[in-house]
Every structure is written in structure tokens, then in C-alpha cells.
Structure 1
Amino acid sequence: MGQVIAKNFVHLHTHSEYSLLDGLSRLSDLVARAKALDMPALGLTDHGALYGAIDFYTLCRDAGIKPIIGVETYVARNNRFDRDPRSEGHGKPWHLVLLAKDFTGYQNLVTLVTAAHLEGYYYRPRMDKDLLRERSQGLIALSACLQGELARAITDEGIDAACAVAEEHRSIFGDGNYYLELMSHGIPEQERVNEGVREVSRRTGVPLVVTNDIHYVHAEDAEAQDVMVCIQSGKTIDTPDRLKMIDNPELFMRTAAQMSDLFPNDPEGLENTLRIAEKVDLRLPLGELRLPHFEVPAGKTPEEQLRTLAEAGTVAKYGSITPELRERIDKELAIIAKT
């Protein structure tokens, strides 16, 4: 477990400029705002990718804030290889937030995101539950927004179905590593879903966590973010019936007091943001040389085996090793050995 967190709220659901054409927040501005609000930790959960993870990690460490690296991922309804537009088309995959607790979790997150892009890409980079079961170690999962499987089950199928979703996710990630998200952005459907989320928690014992789906740093940034969404969707601000996130301009980094005011009856959900932050102890080996391990014949060092292979390759290419080639081999192997 990581260091004890003493402050009173941590944002765990945050989109930066690397949620492309959706998140407006620059990483530096996010970290600076969290520091100004005296927040002890901050999560980064861009859509489907880890583009900003390393810069975010170093910015947070430099600012004295604990970095929590994550992803709001897309989960295929069937499997990542399915390309049926009726079940896996645009807007169909479920959202799920994943946070890395430690370096093992980070490595699993990288593997999951890579597979989602290389194997599961269909409109969005999708992983599936088989992959999640294989790579759940070191990860904490949050149920995500209205596009999460839990929220969709509450809305479309009812509480019993939502409880089944919660139990399945808990079985994938393990006790203490799965939380049900509560959000409040002035959306009527969200308030109805929140009541369902609370009931699922009561029935299953899966804990609640309060989040704010941050897409920009300050409240006054909502208009600029709305223009960005128009660019993404190929619309203008005057287009009727378009996606208008500005209709609910609540997606900024709220203070701890504002979050508490929004959820006066959910103290456990607020405190769980701190508990999750305390569980995180991620240390990335930046600046350290990490070479892959290769088996070498018994009685040989890696350096000796590399020389054997280099000399054999030289003979195969040039027919023999001339003094000039010998000098070049020795020089290059010496550089490699020093590295």
C-alpha cells in the first residue's frame, strides 16, 4: 500500500487533452489546479489510451502530488474480435475505468490498451472481459459514466441485472478492487442511475466512490470544450440535435467542498476516493535501463555469446574477418558492453 493520504478528496475520473477532441484540459493545467486545491493525488483516465501517462506521472511527482495512471476503456459487448455493427457499432461498447495500483497493474494496463488497439479496434479501441480476466492483477476498476455497463443495465434492464454486472466485475478484479461510481452533472438520467447505483451497492456490498467526469479544468472552459466536441462530430455550434456537453457545464475540477456539497448523503463514497489513492503505489522505472533477458549457452556470458554471433554473422556476410572488420566489431561490442 502507498503513503497515507490525509486530505479530503481525490479526483479519479479525469480526461486531458489526450482524450482527443473530447478533453480540453492540458496536463500541466490539471496538475497545477489539483495542487492549488491542495489535493494529495490525481487520476488520469483518458479515453482508450495512455498517450499522456508518462508526462502526467512526471508532472505530478514534480508537484508533490501522487499520480494515479488509468484509462477509461471501451469494453466489447461480446468480444474484441466481433465486428457486428448491431452489437459493436459506434457508441455500443461499454465504458469502464481502470486504475493502476502498482507497476504490475501499469504493465497490465499497457498490455490491455495495446490489445484493444491492435486486436479490438472497431470505431474505438476495445478490450473484452476475457482480456480483463487475464490482466486484472494490480488494477482497480470503477463502473464509469452513463455509458458504463452497470449504468446501462440499471436503465435498460433493472436492478437485478445491474447487480449481476457488479458481481461479475467484482469477480474479475477481486474484492476491494471494484467500485460503483456516483456522478452529478445536472443530468436527470444520471440522478436516476445514481439511485440505482446506491441500491446495487446495498444489495451486493460493492462500495461506492464519488467522481466528477472532468473534461476541462475551470467552469468557464465549458464553451471552448463544446467547440471541440463540434469539431469531433463534424457539426457547428448551431447544428440542432447535436451532442451538447455544454448543456451540463459541470465537467470541471470541483473543489473538495463542492464535491461534498453534491453528495452530502454519501460520505463513504467521498472517503473512498482517499482509500483508493492510498492503495496506489506506482513507481515507474524512468531513466533506468531495462533490457530483455536472453538465454545463452551454458558456460558463456551474454557478452561472449553476442561476440560469437557477431563474428559468425560477419563471416557469413563478408567471407572472413579482416583487420578492419575486427576493429569495427571490437569497437561496437565495447560500446554495447558499457551500455
Structure 2
Amino acid sequence: MTFCHLNLHTDRSIMRGLIKPSALVEWSKKHGVRGAAVTDYGTLAAAFELHEACKGTSVMPIYGMEINLVDDKTEKSQTSLRLILIAKNKQGFRNLITLATIGAMYFYYIPRLDITDLEDYGGDLIAISGDMQGVAADAYFRDQDNGLKNLWDIYTAIFGDDFYFEIEPALIDSQRVLNEALVKFALSVGTTNLVATGDPHYMVREDRDLHKCVMAIKNNRNPSWYYPMKGDYHVRTYDEMVDQFAELHGYDISNVPGFREALKQPDVIIDKIESFDICEGVKIPTFIK
């Protein structure tokens, strides 16, 4: 089995990610993975580099972005929730560009969007509910299944069958609780729209110490004791993902309904994504006389 991570951060996620798109594509080729996805925080800065790295290979570039959602982007607030957006086609990529632009226009410590932006520009996009700071985690830990039902209704109204709950193998108890709650809820509403991701921030396990230093610098902490991320966040294979989920949950999830589909879902999602060229040539401005 192969595995494509649909939540992944390159070195364009400044002071957070370390992955080079070229290294990701080489890894994908080596392991027979059909696509290479990049979902940097609030930016599409790595898109062209990913496009160039995939050119002439069997690996399809998958363009995405992890956005920060606030209740009202016109208000100055540092409280936000995360959501992954992935372009299904060229129009979806254009929508991502628009959303990245709006996020920058309403920047307050971070690029910020609100739900009205998703309603306006959510077409041709796939949405994934994010990590422990994402929309699903917030909904569940605030109001349990009622929160998830409300979230499901809102986001399926915008994205239809292209909204997915994200489960991760982060080695913290709240992640285990959330994973099991999302699987249980999804099955209760008759869907298997669950997707597993490893949320990679660095390429190989040996890069963990370097990433630890980067995170400490970012947060003005001492790397000898500070590191907010539990477990491995390198680009893992399918077997490594299964093993870390087993470490988190205490049993093999690979044949458990819901979890089983989540592990296979990246391939299903890739089938929804078209191959397209993001390069459109030189744009000459029209000057008004």
C-alpha cells in the first residue's frame, strides 16, 4: 500500500515546515505514490516549486493550503481554527489564490478568512477538517456530537461530498479521543468521508532535532526542553502510519470500519483531482490612456 499525505508543510510554512517540494516528489517516486500534496499555512508560495518538481514525472502535483478561520475577519482577533483546502482543478486553484489574497488583506498576526469567504470561493475545492487546532476538534470538544453535527451541516452545504474529517496519529490522548469520535460520528451519519494524514513538517525522522530547534527559535524557547509536537512528523509510509496509529490507539486500526477507509481515502481523493498546468504565460497589464 502507498500513502499520500494531504496535510503537509514545506519550508514555505516559515519557521514551521522543513520539507523541500523536490525532496517530497523524489520520495513519492521512490515509494510509488501517485501525488505530492503541499498545504502550507496561509500561502501558496511553494506551488510553482512543486509544479516544477513534478514536471516530467509520474507524480501529480496537488495544490492546497491550510487556512485560519475566524468568526469575523474584520475584527482583530488572534483566535482562529484551521481547515485544509485542496484544489480539484484549475478553477479551484484560482479560488485558492483568491482566498490566499483575502487572507493576506485581513492579516492580523496570521492570514485570516471567515466562513463567508468559503461560501463565496469554496467551489472546486476539497476541504479537510484539520488537526487538533482545526474546526472538527473545536466542534467536538465544545459540544461533542452536537457540535460535529452542526459542523457537518455547515461544511457539507458548502463543499458537498468534498468535505472530510481528518484523523491523525499524533501521540496525545486528546487526539485518540477525537479520532474515535470522528469515526463514530461519520459512521452514524452514513458517511466514510474520513481521511488519515500524518501532517508532516519534516522529510525524514532524522530531521526531528532540527525541527525542534526551529520551533524553539520561533517561540523563543530552549530546544533542550521545548517541543510542542508529540510523536513523529516526518513523511511516513502507509506501514509507518498504521504502526503509529496502533501506538496511539493500542490496537491495529487498519481493518476497523471508518479507520480502514480513512487510511485508503487519500487515493480516493486523488481520483477527484485533475492534472492541470498552473503556468499561464506572461501577463501584460492593460494601461488606461
Provide TM-score, normalisation by structure 2.
0.90
Pick closer, same or farther for the CA change 1:214–1:285 going to 2, 3 Å.
Answer: closer
What per-residue deviation string (whole Å, max 9, x for no partner) do you get for residues 180-228 of structure 1?
A: 1111021111001101111221233341111111001111111110100
2:59 to 47, 56, 65: 65
Structure 1 residues 141 and 287: alpha-carbon distance in aligned structure 2, compared to 1, 3 A threshold: closer
Letter in 1 for 2:263: L
Q: Which amino acid aligns with 2:81?
A: W
* Unmatched segments (≥5 aa) in structure 2: 246-252
For residue 157 of structure 1, what is the aligned residue in structure 2?
143
Whether contact under 8 Å (2:103, 2:113) holds in the other structure is yes
Q: For structure 1, which segment, 96-105 or 53-62, has the greater mean C-alpha deviation from structure 2 after superposition? A: 53-62
Q: In the alignment, residue 270 of structure 2 is paired with which amino acid?
A: A
Backbone CA RMSD of aligned residues: 1.9
- Conserved in 2, the CA contact under 8 Å of 1:11 and 1:211? yes
Does residue 253 of structure 1 match 2:253?
A: no
Q: Where does residue 96 of structure 1 map in the other structure? A: 83
Per the alignment, residue 168 of structure 2 pairs with 183
- Cα distance in 2 for partners of 1:10, 1:196 equals 23
Task: List runs of 5+ in structure 1 lacking aligned partners.
Answer: 1-6, 295-305, 314-339
Following the alignment from structure 2 to structure 1, what is the Cα–Cα distance between the partners of residues 241 and 26? 19
Q: In structure 2, what residue type is equivalent to 1:156?
A: R
* Partner secondary structure for residue 45 of structure 1: strand
Aligned position for 2:15: 21
Q: Percent identity?
A: 27
The reply to whether residue 203 of structure 1 matches residue 193 of structure 2 is no
Structure 2 residue 200 is matched with structure 1 residue 214: yes
Question: What CA distance in whole angstroms lies between the structure 2 residues aligned with 1:94 and 1:243?
Answer: 21
Tell me the secondary structure at the aligned position of residue 180 of structure 1: strand
| CA pair 115-287 structure 1, distance change in 2 beyond 3 A | closer
User: Distance between the aligned counterparts of 1:154 and 1:285, measured in 2?
Assistant: 37
- Mapping of residues 5-84 of structure 1, within 5 Å: 8-76=2-70, 78-83=71-76
Deviation, 1:290, is: 5.1
1:164 CA drift (Å): 0.9
Q: TM-score, normalised by structure 1?
A: 0.77
Measured against aligned partners, the alpha-carbon deviations of 1:12-51 in whole angstroms (never above 9, x if no partner) come to 1110101100111122222212221111112100011111
Bigger CA radius of gyration: 1
- Give the aligned partner of residue 261 of structure 2: 268
The question of 1:106 aligning with 2:99 is answered: no
**More displaced, 125-134 or 248-257?**
248-257
